[in-house]
Amino acid sequence: MNGMRCATARALATGVLLWSVAAAQADIFRPSKEDQVKLGTDAAAKVRKSEKLLPDDHPRVRLLRSAAQRILDAIPADQRKKEIWKFSFDVIDKKEVNAFAFPGGPIFFFNGLIDKLETEDQLAGVLAHEMTHVRNQHWASAYADNMKRRLGITAILTIFNAGSSAFDIAGVADDLLVGLPYSRKHESEADRVGLDLMVRAGYNPEGLEFVMRMFASEGGRPWEFVSSHPDPNNRSKAIAKWIKESGKTFPPSTPLSPEVRKKADGQGVKQPAATKKDG
């Protein structure tokens, strides 16, 4: 018997075992797409109850939704067919310079962010970034990673050996829906994929670069309280590089209309309790 070969075989076997455990770990804690939609829908309903939102016919809301539709229409049909996301787009009447997405599709912008924007392309850049977080299920990955860290390897092995899913929708606390940081990798992916998407939709990608530069110049405050973002300075540089390397020319940016630019503070309303419309 060749001792060396035996040790190698053992190392290989261990490697394969660890690899398969690692591969399985990611999945046992991962909420399904359906669970993500359910969690996001419930969380959005809570936001609509607790915050004042600009009404549906407000110019800011109408622009946000038409830009979002334009971006959704730009998703290739074969991808869209497979997606079950329930997107919604609302503006919260608060001064925060921020926007965020819940898993499964609900996206909220704050009045304070729209106050800072000059073009529809900038708005579209943030939208496409947030929609990519949803479509690429970044929250579900962050949630699974968080559970792995909290439980440790022994518990994971136990659950793994039991062969069941460890995801429990009732166990997801509110703070985990908004408090989970996305990884650097996810942020960069949301920038990159979002950029492609906004370009497909006919927007000028410099809009996203502008927003990133704005955050950098304002002391690096990133959007999304759900996120521990990488330095916006580096991100704006990365975006500028992608735009340059694409070698393409892009359509001119579309300035926001005076109605959209007009400050909308205090125009938010609380969502009425029952809003189910017929027809």
- Residues of this chain that interact with Zn ion (CB under 5 A) are 187, 190, 224, 227
The distance of closest approach from Cβ of residue 82 to Zn ion in the complex, given in angstroms and rounded to an integer, is 23
The distance of closest approach from Cβ of residue 175 to Zn ion in the complex, given in angstroms and rounded to an integer, is 18
Task: Report the alpha-carbon distance of residue 6 to residue 229 in Å, rounded.
Answer: 47
Task: Report the alpha-carbon distance of residue 31 to residue 169 in Å, rounded.
Answer: 8
- Of 89 and 166, which CB lies nearer to Zn ion in the complex structure? 89
Strands of the sheet containing 106-110, edge to edge, are 99-101, 106-110, 88-92, 52-53, 269-270
Q: What is the CA radius of gyration of the chain?
A: 22
- Of 92 and 180, which CB lies nearer to Zn ion in the complex structure? 180
- Of 131 and 190, which CB lies nearer to Zn ion in the complex structure? 190
The distance of closest approach from Cβ of residue 76 to Zn ion in the complex, given in angstroms and rounded to an integer, is 22
The distance of closest approach from Cβ of residue 221 to Zn ion in the complex, given in angstroms and rounded to an integer, is 13
The distance of closest approach from Cβ of residue 157 to Zn ion in the complex, given in angstroms and rounded to an integer, is 33
The distance of closest approach from Cβ of residue 266 to Zn ion in the complex, given in angstroms and rounded to an integer, is 28
